[in-house]
Amino acid sequence: MNDRHSILDSITGAFVPIHRDGYKFVAGFAVATLFLFLLAPPLGWLAAVLTAACAYFFRDPDRVTPDRDGLVVSAADGKIAAVAEGVMPPRELALGTDPLTRVSVFLSVLDVHIIRAPVGGKIIHGAMCPVRFSTRSWTRRARRTSASLRHRDCGRDKIGVILIAGLVARRIVTFVSEGASVAAGERIGLIRFGSRVDLYLPEGVEILTELGQTAIGGETVLAALVGEARRGQSAAGEA
């Protein structure tokens, strides 16, 4: 019985839950697949593949977030596309006019698109606005959603999170609102479909990631904060 249970656990463990926001899309693909199987079986098989791809896109795996104060974890799965210092934060973040450190994560259509809180704290500001993407022949609009978080343990440290939707499907779904308290690694949103997430980090952070690294949302540590709590501990230690 124990062997049977372990095999069953291994099989079921290979299946990742689908986020509830994806149910309607997967259901729509499934219904279309059923009709196509009745009308034209070859197209039905193609639709079945697309249904599986849709379910794969909306997967929502559990993550284990490091339980240590002062760590900034990746808000998204994907590649570290940029680590830049001295970047002016967008005005909608309300983070002031001082240049900050920006870490950008690029999500491909194969990555998990659930976005998570990089730190534990309170969302003190949120905004949604259009953003323009220019190509050689035309300019298209997409959406981005911005949120500023005040870190739970370091009162003056604020972190900006910007969710940028792709050009194909410009849709961002948020799970929390302004004034809400979140834990590090908690689900805060979903982007459809290809997209990017930018983190604006306060002065004094220690960057612990590098360009090209593969990040796992809610788990990969990107930086360590040097906030008031850490400064206080350092002062006490020196005394």
Distance between CA atoms of 170 and 160, rounded to whole angstroms? Answer: 21
Say which of 74, 146, 148, 195 is annotated catalytic.
195
Amino acid at 195: S
Angle between helices 23-39 and 41-57 (to 10 degrees): 170
- Cα–Cα distances in angstroms (integers) from residue 126 to residues 11, 150, 199, 201, 213, in the given order: 41, 12, 14, 16, 28
Q: What are phi and psi of 58, to 5 degrees?
A: -90, 15
- Cα–Cα distances in angstroms (integers) from residue 211 to residues 61, 62, 80, 106, 205, in the given order: 25, 25, 5, 11, 17
Is residue 195 annotated as a catalytic residue, yes or no? yes
Bridge partners, 121 (sequence order): 151, 182
Residue 187: CB partners within 8 Å, gap ≥ 6?
60, 114, 115, 116, 175
- Cα–Cα distances in angstroms (integers) from residue 172 to residues 44, 53, 143, 169, 224, in the given order: 30, 19, 7, 9, 28
Active-site residue set: 195
